[in-house]
Structure formats: C-alpha cells, structure tokens
Amino acid sequence: MSVTENIKNIHERMAAACARSGRRMEDITLVAVSKTKPVSMMQEAYETGCLDFGENKVQEIVNKKPQMPEDARFHMIGHLQTNKVGQVIDKAVLIHSVDSLHLAEKIEKEAEKREMISDILLEVNVAREESKYGMFLEDVTKNLEVISRFPHIRVKGLMTIAPNVENAEENRKFFKELYQLYVDIKSKNIDNGTMSMLSMGMTGDFEVAIEEGATLIRVGTGIFGSR
C-alpha cells in the first residue's frame, strides 16, 4: 500500500471513531510520524494534505525541515536532552515530550534568548512503565503550577505513550485517566487557559484514543510502513 492509500485508510478509521464517540474530525490532528523515513515519503504525505510530521530525534528535524515545504510542521515527540533544546526550539511547532521540570526550565531559558514563546505538552507516564519517560500522573499538577508561570512557555496540553499491547482496549483505561486529568486541570484553571491538546494514540490504538478524547494522534507505521 502507498502512503496515499494508507493515509486514506487512517482518515476513514478516524472518521469511524469520531462517529462512534460523537466527535468531529476537524478537532483531531493526524501527526504523521516520519522518524527514520525518507523525505520523499513525507512529500507524498504532504501532497495528500498532511502538514504535521512527528520526529523523535532532533537531528532528523534539523535535516528534514529545510527539505520540506515552508508550511510543513514538525512535532518533537521523542525524549529531548537539555543540551539539544537550542537546536530544535525554533524548528518544532510543538514539543510533545516535556517529561521533567528540568527540561521545561531549559526550554524557558532558550525561548527567552530567542524572544519567542515555545508551545509544549507535558508527557505523562500514565501506565508507570519503567522503560518510558514522562511524569507520573500525581506529579503533573505541581509541575504545571511551576511551568505555567514561565513567560516563554505555553503548556498546550498533555501527552502519553501507552504500552505496546496486542489489544488496544487494554489501553483505554490509561487514555481515560489522562483525559480525566486534562479536564481537572482545565476546570481548576491551573494552566492559565492554554490547555487544549491531548496527544495520545498511535498506529495500534488511535481509535480507542480518539474515543477517549485525543486531539492529536501520532501514527507512524500505519502511514509509512514498518521501521
């Protein structure tokens, strides 16, 4: 199957998940996760109307961005080392993977230097997997209270990487937990009203994530094939 056919298939499945859960397709952004894949495949995705690309390495964003049209948007979705923040901050439209207060402090410093505001998501390790980065659910509010006072950062929402499971239904409880936290934060206004994004769901579980409130889904294999 071509990238074009794969995207059409993902769109159909997104639409069906929206229909099941009373959501609108325009409220969900498909981020095409192009890590390790060539720019030629990304261009094919771009031509179908996909403008959002996810990468997990700073170097790949640095290399690919100049080769893509101006309006292609790069999302940093992988673990970000503090010493690489300066390279990516003005190239990524959104950093999904802010997993510590320390990293947020570094982003604040680099954004201030460039007189810009950086949009970020806080990564939450909802399933408490040892192999994964991310804050624990119970630490998000206290970290957010600090980060939301940083003048050069806008916390746009929350992100999680759910466990790799056979049956996507097994991840529903984790998506529900993150959605609940997201709603709590919004209702208490800890975020200064900037929170509007929930990044959850990948090739294996994006339909369940949409049913549970995702506004961004990150799909790699389902679009570009296996890595």
Residue 221 found at the interface with ligand PLP (CB under 6 A): yes
- Pick from 218, 211, 222: which is nearest to 173 by CA? 211
Residue type, 47: E
Segment near ligand PLP (CB under 6 A); pick from 67-75, 145-153, 173-181, 215-223: 215-223
Return the number of the residue (10 or 85) whose C-beta is nearest ligand PLP.
10
∠ Cα 49 54 59 (to 5°): 125
Q: Least Å distance between CB 210 and ligand PLP?
A: 14
Residues in the chain, overall count: 227
Q: Least Å distance between CB 112 and ligand PLP?
A: 27
In the bound state, the residue with its beta carbon closest to ligand PLP is: 220
Binding mask 10-49 for ligand PLP (x = CB under 6 A): -----------------------x-x--------------
- How many Å apart are CA 46 and CA 29, to the nearest integer? 14
Q: In the set 125, 203, 207, 216, which binds ligand PLP (CB under 6 A)?
A: 203
Q: In the set 10, 14, 72, 77, which binds ligand PLP (CB under 6 A)?
A: 77
3-state secondary structure of 78: coil
Q: Least Å distance between CB 200 and ligand PLP?
A: 9
Residue 107 found at the interface with ligand PLP (CB under 6 A): no
Question: For residues 100-132, b (16+ Cβ closer than 10 Å) or e, as one string?
Answer: bbebbbbbbebbeeeeeebbbbbbbbbbeeeeb
- How many Å apart are CA 128 and CA 44, to the nearest integer? 37
Do residues 111 and 92 make contact, with C-beta atoms less than 8 angstroms apart? no
State the residues that interact with ligand PLP by CB under 6 A.
Answer: 33, 35, 56, 77-78, 161, 202-204, 218-222
